[in-house]
Amino acid sequence: EIVLTQSPATLSFSPGERATLSCRASQSVSSSLAWYQQKPGQAPRLLIYDASNRATGVPARFSGSGSGTDFTLTISSLEPEDFAVYYCHQRGSWPWTFGQGTKVEIK
Amino acid sequence: EVQLVESGGGLVQPGGSLRLSCAASGFSFSSYAMSWVRQAPGKGLEWVSTVGTGFDTYYGDPMKGRFTISRDNSKSTLYLQMNSLKAEDTAVYFCASNIPGRAGFDYWGQGALVTVSS
């Protein structure tokens, strides 16, 4: 099973700041990685698929990069609605797995 | 508009069974692989199972032998039959559609709560 490690568990920022979230895979997943945003009481929302492609309707301030084992989600300038939990997810091999999540909170 | 609506959640005793359904609309259901993802209270996301367009099935290790995923394309409905339920299966279960040929779940239902407790 491929383990996805998201670190740190919590990041604190002020609105307008740039946020960089990390996801590291225990073995290569090529570009088969997605990023999701989840707010309390809501279903996750797809942000990035195939490591670097923005999903429909996702603002341009969200970008994804990486391949193999190291991936990054960047939010160029945090808006108030961006404070949430972010998960990475791999489907490079079965079983598919999720990272444990990074909470982006307001400083 | 794409909609995924789960139903069938509830309270069940340990060792019991439950069947979840996910009614899909607004897209060509038969052309999409479909999945279940769960989230235990206060915890992260866990992939449960996927059924492909060719009815091929895949399961997470904790679910193998106990859960069965299936689909009825004539009804645009996804199912998850859960047997031998354990307390650790307590979670919100989401159904999600898989972007064809891409890595990502593009649409999600609102979730169905399954509580396993005596």
Q: Are strands B112-116 and B10-12 parallel, antiparallel or unpaired?
A: parallel
User: What is the pLDDT, as a whole number, of residue B59?
Assistant: 97
Residue A18, CB half-sphere, CA atoms under 13 Å: how many? Answer: 5
Confidence tier at B103 by pLDDT (50, 70, 90) = confident
For residue B115, give both structure tokens.
Answer: 């509580």
Of B36, B31, B19, give the one whose Cα is nearest residue B109: B36
Average pLDDT, chain A: 97
Q: Given CB atoms, is A58 within the 8 Å cutoff of chain B?
A: no
Confidence tier at B100 by pLDDT (50, 70, 90) = confident
User: What is the pLDDT, as a whole number, of residue B18?
Assistant: 98
Nearest-CA residue of chain A relative to B63? A95
User: What is the pLDDT, as a whole number, of residue B51?
Assistant: 97
Average pLDDT, chain B: 97
User: What is the pLDDT, as a whole number, of residue B64?
Assistant: 96
Q: Given CB atoms, is B1 within the 8 Å cutoff of chain A?
A: no
Strand pairing partners for A23?
A6, A71
Whether pLDDT at B34 is above 90: yes
- Which string of DSSP letters, residue by residue, matches A34-88? EEEEE-TTS--EEEEETTTEEPTT--TTEEEEEETTEEEEEESS--GGG-SEEEE
pLDDT in tens, B76-98: 999 999 999 999 999 999 999 99
- Is the Cβ pair A90, B102 closer than 8 Å? no
- A97: three-class secondary structure by DSSP: strand
Whether pLDDT at A43 is above 90: yes
User: What is the pLDDT, as a whole number, of residue B71?
Assistant: 98
Q: Given CB atoms, is B59 within the 8 Å cutoff of chain A?
A: yes
Looking at residues A51-58, what average pLDDT do you find? Answer: 96
User: What is the pLDDT, as a whole number, of residue B53?
Assistant: 96
Whether pLDDT at A62 is above 90: yes
Q: Which of B44, B103, B110 sits opposite A34 (nearest CB)?
A: B103
Of B6, B9, B17, give the one whose Cα is nearest residue B86: B17
Q: Which of residues 6-45 of A touch B (CB under 8 A)?
A: 31-34, 36, 38, 43-45
User: What is the pLDDT, as a whole number, of residue A21?
Assistant: 97
Whether pLDDT at B36 is above 90: yes
pLDDT in tens, A4-23: 999 889 999 999 999 999 99
User: What is the pLDDT, as a whole number, of residue A7?
Assistant: 87
User: What is the pLDDT, as a whole number, of residue B73?
Assistant: 98
- Which string of DSSP letters, residue by residue, matches B47-78? EEEEE-TT--EEE-GGGTTTEEEEEETTTTEE
Q: Could you tell me which residues come within 8 angstroms of residue A11 by beta carbon, excluding any fewer than 6 positions away?
A: A19, A21, A102, A103, A104, A105
